[in-house]
Each structure stands twice: as structure tokens, then as C-alpha cells.
Chains A and B, each alone.
Chain A
């Protein structure tokens, strides 16, 4: 898979940010960021602490509103769309800190994310089990297939809050997949995870890309970024200071100085 080379892949992009700003009082956490996220690739977002990567991800997902700029997803301007509607359209994020639903079982964590369940409305629920049981059965089967694929079938009835840090990451990724996302926004999916599970997550992400999923991923571990990401965007002090493959970025002295030292 070739490098997309910054914004040159615009024609092939599913998500684009144009001159996006996010200011907190006087602080310009995101200061005019423009990127294109190419379809069916993994795009890495790297940069030193405080570069504004997670804030930018939150703005893309709608968790934080943009102060200025435009976000286009699949041809539509979604800048003013609330976060939950972006998720329903297939732009789904995960969080830097574990964000499982602790007192729901692992299987329920997946089921709750599934759209198109007739029982997931007041009317449907009041109609009783018969009204939504068929949807539920279908979704349980779908969720179980995911659990099996991620090696967590035996945990399906355990509370998600009792899982390890790495397992919670997996739950979050599986939960996002239940929405059939078009773009997955991952905020440091490997942070605080046991090295063995890091390997697993890497493997799963590669498989998902192989299946055509588009991923934008904030990540600190450069060797992981190098292995996984087709394109890498470097941010510092709220701005994009470069993009391309890791190999090309390593040749740019200002980027090496800013971030890639060592």
C-alpha cells in the first residue's frame, strides 16, 4: 500500500478537516489543522505531548465543537453535527482512558452499541420481548462472532469493569465495530496495555484495514506507527508540521528535531 503523501490523496479521502481550530480561552490547542484521511488506510497522528492530537480527534468526533473550520465526512459537512449523530453515520471514536460500561457484561457492552434493534426505544421496549427478540438474537450472534474473533468468548458474561486494561481496549474496539463504522478514530489504543495484548491489537488493526476499514489513530509508540500506518501526520503546538510515510518523515530535519529524536 503506497503512501498517501499528505493531502494529495484528497480525491480518495473519506474524512477531511479544513483549517480546523479549537481554542480554550486563549490557548490554541488545535490551530488551523487540515488533513485528509484516505479511504481504507491507517493514518497515524503523532506528535509530542500537548501537540493537540487528542483534542483534534475529539473535534473530529464531535466530542468537542470546533471553534472554526470545516469537517467533511463522506462528502457531507458534519462540523455542526453532534457527536452521537456522527457515530450513527459511521464516524466512531475510542478514548485514551478505558471507557467500558463497567456494570454491563462484556457481551452487553457490544450489544448496546448495535444499531437497528427494535427494542432500543421506549415504544419497542414497552411492546415486550416478542417484539424485539429476533433483532436481539441476530445481534447476540453478531457480537459473539466478534468476541470469538478477538478471543474473548469466555468472558462474555463477566462485568466489563472486571477486565484487564488490555481487554477493556479490545472491548472498546469491538463495541465500535458493532456500529459498522466507516472510519474508526482511535485515541492511543495501546496505552497502558500489556505487550502481549499490544501485539494482538496490532494484528486486529491490520486485519481490519485488510477488510477495508479506514482508521485514524493517535499513537505514541513510533515502531507501532511505522508498522501499522500508511500515512503519518505530525502535529506540534496545535499545527500540522508534516505528513507522509514514516520513512519520508525521518528525512525531514525539522520533524526529526520536533519529535522523532531518538
Chain B
């Protein structure tokens, strides 16, 4: 295993962990079926890209069309990506989360994901359409050589810092009285209202916080792969993250991390190995089978182990009486 491959694997793992922590907060803890999750990651990635790239008239970039091109220094593009994810969540949440029942919310968000991808693909002067944005500068690439071994592991370190920050913050949310209110809303919204919870406010907040984290994950990823296009964020990408949460275990961050490692990262690698070993099979069969496997995985887990590999843990308080203490 060469070091580029290792760095690649680790950065993808970090990005998937960040994304799964955000989706777990929305779906696992709060019960919001955000089928447009990948759009928030994409907005973060595009924003980080146009904030770090020079204008599209600059030498070497004039083969593509995009707005902005502010050439900002790191970490501003990442911060901008995170903010953009949160900002997008405001109008989307405002339209989707206030009136609609949760199953219709899921449908509306899925449709939004498809529409957003189609629009960006076809609006070719906006973010360079289907061809996407290329030559996105890697963070601090004006000071270090992004192709060096050292830089690759520096990037892994940056990703790790983001993972740790997101993990600490999301753990504080999930394991707090606020997280308890979110779980109550997930369990039974009508009863949560009856005890004074405002579900629209709770959902909007979680949607925005999740959007910020998703945006950050996109920013981290685009800085590494230095490219972003509609083909990277098709709606099935969201399904993979849902599969990760279901397999890992809903409602807890350990489950979300496990899921991120088992599904997006694990599957990608197994598929790669199988593709290398699949002599005689028509091309494209193994990647197509990956989708079949994702579907089977979701159904299988929901059927046989609905709580995932690492189920949500019961919150037992200090000095809890044991059975028979009465």
C-alpha cells in the first residue's frame, strides 16, 4: 500500500465520518429523513472551491466558467463552505420542515436533490455545468507542494482535526438535555409538543447545524480531490450515507463512525479489490453490484438488526436503583 493510497483512504474516511455524524444528528437522533443531504455537502464543496480558486479569467483557469473566484487563503474557503451549508438549510428547512409530515418531507428533500443536481448540470455558466470545477487549489498549496508525501499526511491531519472538532461538538449535542429533547421529538412529535417543545424550531436548528457540518465535509473533500462536479453528488450518494447510519447504528455517534467506516469506505475498497480481481466479467458489473449490495444491506439490517452494529445506548443515570430496590 503506497502512502498516496493510504492518505486518500484516510481523508475519505474522515469526510465520510464528518458527513455521517451530521446525518446521524438529523436522521438518527432527530428523525429528519434528509434525502437531500448530499446537496449540503455539494454546496460546501462548491463554495470552498469558488472561494479558493482565482477568477475564471485567470491564466490556467480560463477554460471553465464559474462565478466568484475569490482566491481566499486557507481556512476561509473551508469556513465559507460550512457557512454555505448552514445558509442553504434555512430556506430549505423553512419550506420543507414547517408544514409537511415527515414522509412528505423525505420525498420533498429527495426531489430537491434531483432538481439541484439537474440545475447545476445544465447551468453551465454558473459552476461549469456537467464538466464541473477543476484545478481547485489545495489548502496552503502556495506554500507546500500538494503532491508531496508530507503534504498528503498534512491533509490527513487537517481532516482529523475537523473530525475531532465535529465529533466533540456533535457528542455534546447528542448527549445533552437538548439531545434528549431531539430524541423525544423523534419518538413522538405530538407528545413532545404537549410538554412544551417546539418541533419546528428543533428541526430547523438541527437542519442548520447538520447543514454546516455537511458543508464542511464538502469543503474538506474538494480541497483534497481538487475537483467537484454534479456526477460526484448524485442523490444515491445520500442513500449510501443513510445505509452507513442504519448499518452502524442510529442515534449514536459511535454507530455513525462505524457505519462510515463499514459502508462508504469499506464498500469502496471491497469494490476496488473485486474490480481488480474480476477477470472475465463485463466492465461495470462490479460497481453496479455495489448498488445492489447497498440496497440489500439496508433491507437486511432493517430486517434482522434494525438497531445496527452498535445500537443507541440506554442513558442510565448515576446511582440508578436496580430492579427490586422498591
Contact = CB atoms under 8 A, between A and B. Distances in A.
Contacts of A27: none
Contacts of B312: 103
Given A112-B181, A153-B321, A132 B176 contact: yes
B190 A105 contact: no
**Which of B180, B194, B196 gathers most chain A CB within 10 Å?**
B194
Interface residues of A, number: 52
Interface string A110-132: 01110101011110111111001
**Which of B176, B191, B324 gathers most chain A CB within 10 Å?**
B176
A203 B134 CA distance: 73
Given A61-B194, A104-B187, A112-B195, A132 B177 contact: yes
B8 interface: no
B317 A125 contact: no
Given A84-B197, A87-B195, A153-B321, A103 B209 contact: no
Interface string B182-199: 011001101111111111
B322 A117 contact: no
A194 to B, nearest CB: 17
Contacts of B181: 112, 120
Contacts of B198: 82, 84
Interface stretch (A3-11, A154-162, A218-226, A252-260): A154-162
Contacts of B180: 104, 108, 111-112, 120
A127 B326 CA distance: 36
A63 interface: yes
B73 to A, nearest CB: 27
Contact of A104 (B183, B199, B323): B183
Contacts of A120: 176-178, 180-181
A148 to B, nearest CB: 9
Given A101-B188, A111-B177, A95 B317 contact: no
Given A101-B183, A101-B184, A159-B314, A125 B173 contact: yes
B218 to A, nearest CB: 22
B259 interface: no
A99 interface: yes
A107 interface: yes
Nearest to A139: B177
B205 interface: yes
A117 B325 CA distance: 28
Contacts of A179: 195-196
A37 B24 CA distance: 45
A60 to B, nearest CB: 12
**Which of A63, A107, A113, A127 gathers most chain B CB within 10 Å?**
A113
A157 B177 contact: no
A140 B317 CA distance: 8
B51 to A, nearest CB: 26
A13 interface: no
B119 to A, nearest CB: 31
A93 B193 CA distance: 10
A176 interface: yes
Contacts of B191: 95, 99-101, 172
A70 interface: no
Nearest 3 A/B pairs, CB to CB = A125-B176, A119-B177, A125-B178
16 contacts: A94-B194, A95-B194, A99-B190, A101-B188, A102-B187, A103-B312, A104-B180, A108-B180, A111-B177, A112-B180, A112-B184, A112-B192, A124-B177, A125-B176, A157-B320, A176-B194
Interface of A: 61, 63, 82-85, 87-88, 92-95, 99-105, 107-109, 111-113, 115, 117, 119-122, 124-129, 132, 135-136, 140, 151, 153-154, 156-157, 159, 172, 175-176, 178-179
Given A108-B315, A125-B172, A140-B317, 19 more contacts: A85-B196, A87-B195, A92-B195, A99-B188, A100-B191, A101-B187, A101-B188, A102-B188, A103-B183, A104-B183, A107-B317, A119-B177, A121-B178, A125-B179, A136-B177, A153-B321, A154-B321, A156-B317, A157-B314
